[in-house]
Amino acid sequence: MKILVVGTGYVGLVTGACFAEMGHQVICLDIDHDKIAKLKEGVVPIYEPGLEEIVKRNYKAGRLEFTTDYSYGVSESLFCFIAVSTPCDEDGSADLSYVQQAAMQIAEQMNGYKIIVNKSTVPVGSGRAVADIVHTTLSKRGVSFEFDIVSNPEFLKEGDAISDFMKPDRIVIGTDNPRVAALMEELYAPFNINHDRLITMDLFSAEMTKYAANAMLASRISFMNEMAGLCERVGADISMVRKGIGSDQRIGYAFLYAGAGYGGSCFPKDVQALRATGREYDFPTPLIDAVEEVNVRQKMLLGEKIIAHFGDSLEGKTLAIWGLAFKPGTDDMREAPALVLIRQLLEKGAFVRLYDPVAMPRTKEILKKSPQVTWCRDEFEAAKGVDAIALVTEWKQFRFVDFEKVQPKQRLFFDGRNQYAPQEMAARGYEYYSIGQPPVRVADEVYS
């Protein structure tokens, strides 16, 4: 089947590449000329394990094309997926300008019946709004073509995007038209062989499902972070509490970790957008409000622990930061907790030595040049001679670090992801602070 995917970011490129891998004919379109030029040269502009291989293979096989030309992309395709960004507006609501723009540009080039599929995360009612834009644009052109709007929210996780797309837990299709539902089923048939993953529902429910899913996941994180804060005060250990509650089948273990707070391109903005929907409908959302409030507080926590340890000024102190990306497996720095920590430390006069296996280039684009910042080759170089190490992103390579090769000036560790057993860190001579676990202190003479 012939597919156009508008927007070649994390979602659009994965969607296009995976459809092509399953034998569909895909055109990926973006307004970013640089990105399209790179993709044509086989350079994938984002870090996503396994993606480059699939992109290259399918591009070579002629099943995957890249263009900036809407006229070509739309005229060749039956399905037009919209996978452009929906960032936060100033008031927290979803900024739909990119989606609206994409809808208009599709309508300007329509040459017959199209199925316009919204993969971007958009508030309830946006599908209808897209339909209005298409109608208006077509009537301005003085043409009349039939079209359908489908909501097909995406649930992939960066870092695992390929396997999430290839073997999704579910494929949500929001449409009121059974004929379109059947065509969507045909499109997704290669992903639906093992067992039926398709859940067909009305447009509004599909749009709402994506927000409800992200709000639920964010709630679990904030819940655990709030429990962790209480654990620290009462002397309990959140990792034990996690085992104790996760074993309850109604709760489960997944997504039940305390840490340095959630970031990324989805949870923060989607939680805010859901709150904005509540405001729009004059329906208070105290639970969702609290999820965000707890997360804002949590992102400050690691920095506060460090400042509390050293006193108010960090002048003359140097800290290593292990991990910058908002989570392992990606180079995405959007809303990354590491950025909050770095800014806290720099403001207090500290020097920072930064290392991330893949997110350094993106971090360099975000942080202002500063003599306080040193970019390091690996975790060992970052830790060399520092007053403390802070772990923010739990890359696997940090889990089994050879601590013999880690040579800080002071053995002081702030672990934002509870990666190590506190007693083992104590045995290595570290004063060890983590999240929701009793700190492990080592007598001063150990340092000398």
Ligand X SMILES: NC(=O)c1ccc[n+]([C@@H]2O[C@H](COP(=O)([O-])OP(=O)(O)OC[C@H]3O[C@@H](n4cnc5c(N)ncnc54)[C@H](O)[C@@H]3O)[C@@H](O)[C@H]2O)c1
Give the one residue of 1, 22, 32, 278 binding ligand X; rule: CB under 6 A. 32
Give the one residue of 44, 54, 83, 184 binding ligand X; rule: CB under 6 A. 83
Active site residue 266: yes
Is residue 306 a contact residue for ligand X (CB under 6 A)? no
Q: Which C-beta is closer to ligand X: that of 6 or that of 291?
A: 6
Candidates 366, 291, 294; CA nearest to 324 is 366
Min dist. Cβ of residue 64 to ligand X (A): 16
Instruction: Enumerate residues 252-271 that contact ligand X by CB under 6 A.
Output: 265-266
d(CA 239, CA 227): 11
Q: Which C-beta is closer to ligand X: that of 158 or that of 387?
A: 158
Is residue 98 a contact residue for ligand X (CB under 6 A)? yes
Is residue 86 a contact residue for ligand X (CB under 6 A)? yes
Q: If binding means CB under 6 A, how many residues of this protein chain bind ligand X?
A: 27
Residue 173, strand partner residues: 200
3-state DSSP of 272-339: HHHHHHHHHCCCCCHHHHHHHHHHHHHHHHHHHHHHHHHCCCCCCCEEEEECCCCCCCCCCCCCCHHH
d(CA 109, CA 67): 14
d(CA 187, CA 172): 13
The token pair at 215 is 């709000």
Min dist. Cβ of residue 193 to ligand X (A): 23
Give the one residue of 44, 84, 333, 391 binding ligand X; rule: CB under 6 A. 84
Give the one residue of 4, 6, 64, 217 binding ligand X; rule: CB under 6 A. 6
Give the one residue of 3, 5, 10, 21 binding ligand X; rule: CB under 6 A. 10
Min dist. Cβ of residue 247 to ligand X (A): 30
Which member of 18, 28, 80, 266 is catalytic? 266
**SS3 assignment, position 352:** strand
Judge whether 6 and 102 are in contact, CB under 8 Å. Answer: yes
Judge whether 437 and 417 are in contact, CB under 8 Å. Answer: no
Binding mask 103-142 for ligand X (x = CB under 6 A): --x--------------xx---------------------
Instruction: Enumerate residues 276-305 that contact ligand X by CB under 6 A.
Output: none
Binding region for ligand X (CB under 6 A) out of 2-10, 106-114, 172-180, 355-363: 2-10
Candidates 39, 5, 21, 47; CA nearest to 330 is 47
What is the number of alpha carbons within 13 Å of residue 187 lying toward its C-beta?
28
Place of tokens 């995957």: 64
Cα separations (Å) of 348 from 106, 301, 303, 311, 339? 50, 15, 10, 10, 14
Q: Which C-beta is closer to ligand X: that of 84 or that of 228?
A: 84
Is residue 207 a contact residue for ligand X (CB under 6 A)? no
Binding region for ligand X (CB under 6 A) out of 50-58, 96-104, 134-142, 394-402: 96-104
Is residue 65 a contact residue for ligand X (CB under 6 A)? no
d(CA 105, CA 101): 6
Candidates 105, 181, 190, 111; CA nearest to 149 is 181
Q: Which C-beta is closer to ligand X: that of 43 or that of 240?
A: 43
d(CA 354, CA 198): 43
Quick one: DSSP state of residue 446?
G
Min dist. Cβ of residue 29 to ligand X (A): 6
Give the one residue of 3, 4, 5, 7 binding ligand X; rule: CB under 6 A. 7
Is residue 241 a contact residue for ligand X (CB under 6 A)? no
Binding region for ligand X (CB under 6 A) out of 5-13, 16-24, 251-259, 380-388: 5-13
Q: Which C-beta is closer to ligand X: that of 303 or that of 328?
A: 328
d(CA 106, CA 82): 9
Is residue 55 a contact residue for ligand X (CB under 6 A)? no
Judge whether 258 and 241 are in contact, CB under 8 Å. Answer: no
Judge whether 120 and 95 are in contact, CB under 8 Å. Answer: no
What is the number of alpha carbons within 13 Å of residue 287 lying toward its C-beta?
9
Min dist. Cβ of residue 285 to ligand X (A): 19
Residues that bind ligand X (CB under 6 A): 6-12, 29-32, 35, 83-86, 98, 101-102, 105, 120-121, 154, 156, 158, 265-266
Residues annotated as catalytic (active site), given as ranges: 266
